[in-house]
């Protein structure tokens, strides 16, 4: 049964196909509200500080071949209107390893009532590695050409677009971080036209959040993330976080028809924030794993005037 589940993971994650196609989705995050640059280039520079975020996610612990994701991003305003960012993501699932390296550029327009609208674009590289030597051959037919697929750090260019509207209390973002649909073929196959190993699909993201001041020491922020990709179910993440005394963050989240999550974060100082999250599946897959874990670190330098009034909640 365990090997059967691993095969299902491979089919879901890679988009293997022969004469038909399956969608490949971007990495998912429970704490997406702190990792916005990875899915929306317009976010670059929006915090008005030099901001670094590192996030590690291990999914479906105890299930061999389950996804592991690490992402690191750095972004900052440059001048009054321009923001620049760098994001690196390493995503591993089953026999595949994918690396994304992206540079983001944003330009911000000032709107009425201190609102801002940022327009973003990113360009980067995608590296795909598939190693079928890691397969448990007992679960496959030896010599089957359909399982002898190897891709060695296949390079493909990538670019994305995003919009990000925000005020001190509200944000709304729309993005497509990876627009090019690239097909990767088995370079070792006798006929490269017969079998494609993976295909990129455009993932569209819609995100929104709002901060409510419940009293001087307590803030509440509901947020949502919707991800749409052709050929895969709609993914909806709903979350609610409480910020206590500008220091401690506690929250819950629900991934529609997939998982329940608990989140916690602590603002160690004006510059440093640490956070953790735990997901528990609500599907049949929960009987094969011990849940998913995320940890993140955010480190920021002060504004140009060397003063940070209050830690931003998003």
Would you say residue 122 has pLDDT above 90?
yes
The pLDDT-based confidence of 136 (bands split at 50, 70, 90) is low
Cα distances from 199 to residues 15, 57, 192, 195, 212, in angstroms, run 6, 23, 14, 11, 42
Residues 49 and 303: beta-carbon distance below 8 Å = yes
**pLDDT attached to residue 150:** 74
Across all residues in the chain, what is the average pLDDT? Answer: 83
What's the structural domain count of the chain?
1
Q: Is the pTM of this model over 0.75?
A: yes
Residues 143 and 135: beta-carbon distance below 8 Å = no
**pLDDT attached to residue 309:** 45
**Is 228 part of any domain?**
no
Each residue's pLDDT tens digit, 37-75? 999 999 999 999 999 999 999 999 998 889 999 999 999
Each residue's pLDDT tens digit, 281-309? 999 888 999 999 999 999 998 665 554 44
Q: Report, as an integer, the average pLDDT of 143-149.
A: 56
Would you say residue 23 has pLDDT above 70?
no
Each residue's pLDDT tens digit, 208-219? 999 999 999 999
Under DSSP, is residue 172 helix (H, G, I), strand (E, B) or coil? strand
**Is 243 part of any domain?**
no
**Is 17 part of any domain?**
no
**Is 285 part of any domain?**
yes
**Is 155 part of any domain?**
yes
**Is 200 part of any domain?**
no
**Is 214 part of any domain?**
no
Domain that holds residue 134: 28-177+260-303
For 57, counting Cβ atoms within 10 Å of its Cβ (0-12 exposed, 13-18 middle, 19+ buried), the class is buried
Q: What are phi and psi of 207, to 5 degrees?
A: -135, 150
Residue of 310 and 76 predicted with greater confidence = 76
Question: Tokens at residue 281, please?
Answer: 């599946």
């Amino acid at each position: 049964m365990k090997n059967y589940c691993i095969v299902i993971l491979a089919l879901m994650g890679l988009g293997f196909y022969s004469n038909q196609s399956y969608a490949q989705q971007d990495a998912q995050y429970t704490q997406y509200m702190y990792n916005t640059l990875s899915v929306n280039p317009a976010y670059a520079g929006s915090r008005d500080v030099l901001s670094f975020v590192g996030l590690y996610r291990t999914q479906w612990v105890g299930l061999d071949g389950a996804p592991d994701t690490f992402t690191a991003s750095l972004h900052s305003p440059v001048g009054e209107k321009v923001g620049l960012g760098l994001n690196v993501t390493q995503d591993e699932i089953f026999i595949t390893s994918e690396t994304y390296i992206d540079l983001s550029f944003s330009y911000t327009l000032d709107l009425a009532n201190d609102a801002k609208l940022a327009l973003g674009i990113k360009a980067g590289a995608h590296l795909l590695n598939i190693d079928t030597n890691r397969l448990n051959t007992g679960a496959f037919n030896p010599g089957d050409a359909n399982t002898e697929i190897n891709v060695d750090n296949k390079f493909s260019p990538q670019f994305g677009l995003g919009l990000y509207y925000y005020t001190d209390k509200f944000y709304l973002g729309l993005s497509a971080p990876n627009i090019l649909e690239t097909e990767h073929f088995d370079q070792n196959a006798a006929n490269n036209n017969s079998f494609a190993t993976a295909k990129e699909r455009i993932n569209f993201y819609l995100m929104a959040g709002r901060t409510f001041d419940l009293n001087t020491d307590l803030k509440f922020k509901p947020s949502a993330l919707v991800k749409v990709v052709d050929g895969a179910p709609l993914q909806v993440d709903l979350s609610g976080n409480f910020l206590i005394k500008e220091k401690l963050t506690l929250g819950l989240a629900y991934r529609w028809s997939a998982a329940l999550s608990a989140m916690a974060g602590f603002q160690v100082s004006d510059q440093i924030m640490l956070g953790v999250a735990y997901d528990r599946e609500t599907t049949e897959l929960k009987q094969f794993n011990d849940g998913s874990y995320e940890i993140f670190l955010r480190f920021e330098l002060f504004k140009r005037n060397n003063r940070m009034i209050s830690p931003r909640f998003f």
